[in-house]
Amino acid sequence: MSQNPLDMVIGSEETQRDAKAAAKFYESARKAQQDGQRETEIAELRRAVAADPQNPDAMFELAYRLDLCGEEDEALALYERVCERAPAPINALMNLAIMYEDRADYARSERCLRQILETMPNHTRARLYMKDVQASREMTVEDDGERDIMKRRALLDTPVTDFELSVRARTCLKKMNIRTLGDLLRISEAELLTYKNFGESSLTEIKKMLTAKGLKLGQGSDDAHRAARRQIADSLKGSGKEAALAKSVSDLQLSVRARKALQLLNIQTLGDLASHTEAELMGVKNFGATSLSEVKERLAENGLALRTLEA
């Protein structure tokens, strides 16, 4: 029976470290990466880690590449090994926290993020992810157990095409890139009605279907906002604009009407604001076109914009 590549790497720690050979393989991996040869790059990184099992750079790069190509278990184990050595690299802790969160292991994810924030209290991405992880932990505690969680996930992953909807409603949802029940719950009535050809009849039809299942539009909006904040933070990584996401909306000096609307939506930071859509803001009573223009201008001044939905 063939041996798992990770087991071979771990087992090699019993052998003598060969830093020179590891550096050679690492350089070969970098060249393969530049040439777009992903398989060769991973193979060379494996050799580098096998030659020097304590080389954090080679382990991190191998973990990162494996994660990209779907080898999550092996990537997770390598990230954990990198983080065992003090001081643990910030990037490795960040990636490990994300992988733990994706596996619903919120306690370990939070520990990684706290480790980052102990060193860098103002780390923008860590602060944003910490907020998401803590919210997810609270939601998990409210559930009745792992079986109920799995049932809920399976329900949310159900394709909207499985439900008895009219051709017009299905076509509109497809154009909006709403594929699953979970996607549908993350959108509000106001947002649905902003789409061309989506009328009251389609809205009534969808609401009736959801009501029969004890669900309603917009109840998954928090998930949508968390995902949007993460996507925005990732897109701004390395641009120097990440710090703006943690800035308080009170610093924008908005009009009283605009401030009240943001308070009603529990929007506290620019990251929160940028995760919302125009339709969500316009759905708040007394929030009109003037307030919308004001908010968009303030966001633009900070290099940000409101979230948009695919038409």
What DSSP string describes 177-202?
A: T--BHHHHHTS-HHHHHTSTT--HHH
Going by C-alpha positions, the residue among 305, 186, 311 that lies closest to residue 236 is 305
Task: Give exposure, 145-162, as e/b (b: 16+ Cβ within 10 Å).
Answer: eeeeeeeeeeebeeebee
pLDDT value of position 296? 92
pLDDT value of position 165? 83
Cβ–Cβ under 8 Å, residues 232 and 299: no
pLDDT value of position 148? 57
Residues 49 and 18 in one domain: yes
> Is 218 inside any structural domain?
no
Q: Residue 37 in 3-state DSSP?
A: coil
The CATH number assigned to the domain holding 19 equals: 1.25.40.10
Cβ–Cβ under 8 Å, residues 124 and 242: yes
> Is 58 inside any structural domain?
yes
Those residues with Cβ within 8 angstroms of residue 243's Cβ, 6 or more apart along the chain or in another chain: 122, 124
Residue 107: half-sphere exposure toward Cβ, Cα within 13 Å:
1
pLDDT value of position 36? 82
> Is 278 inside any structural domain?
yes
* Among 96, 122, 142, residue at a domain's last position: 142
Over the chain (311 residues), the average pLDDT of each successive run of 10 is 45 61 89 87 90 87 85 87 86 90 85 91 87 74 52 72 83 82 78 74 86 77 74 78 82 87 83 85 81 91 82 45
pLDDT value of position 214? 79
Residue with tokens 């919210």: 135
Our count of domains for the chain comes to 3
pLDDT value of position 54? 83
> Is 176 inside any structural domain?
yes
The DSSP letter of residue 159 is: B
Residues in the chain: 311
- Quickly count: other Cβ atoms within 10 Å of residue 23's Cβ: 16
Q: Which domain holds residue 123?
A: 5-142
* Among 88, 113, 142, residue at a domain's last position: 142
> Is 308 inside any structural domain?
no
Residues 113 and 228 in one domain: no
Q: How far apart are CA 141 and CA 7, in angstroms?
A: 35
pLDDT value of position 93? 92
Instruction: Compute the C-alpha angle 302/304/309, nearest 5°.
Output: 165
pLDDT value of position 243? 77
Residues 105 and 163 in one domain: no
Going by C-alpha positions, the residue among 30, 56, 52, 51 that lies closest to residue 41 is 30
The DSSP letter of residue 163 is: S
pLDDT value of position 2? 41
The crossing angle, in degrees rounded to 10, of helices 124-142 and 106-119 is: 150
The CATH number assigned to the domain holding 293 equals: 1.10.150.20
What residues does 180 pair with on adjacent strands? 159
Burial of residue 106 (CB within 10 Å: 0-12, 13-18, 19+) is: buried
Largest CA distance in the chain: 72
Instruction: Compute the C-alpha angle 222/227/228, nearest 5°.
Output: 95
Residues 135 and 159 in one domain: no
Residues 138 and 152 in one domain: no
* Among 142, 173, 188, residue at a domain's last position: 142
pLDDT value of position 253? 86
Cβ–Cβ under 8 Å, residues 90 and 116: yes
**CA dist 269 to 46, 250, 263, Å?**
42, 8, 11
pLDDT value of position 293? 92
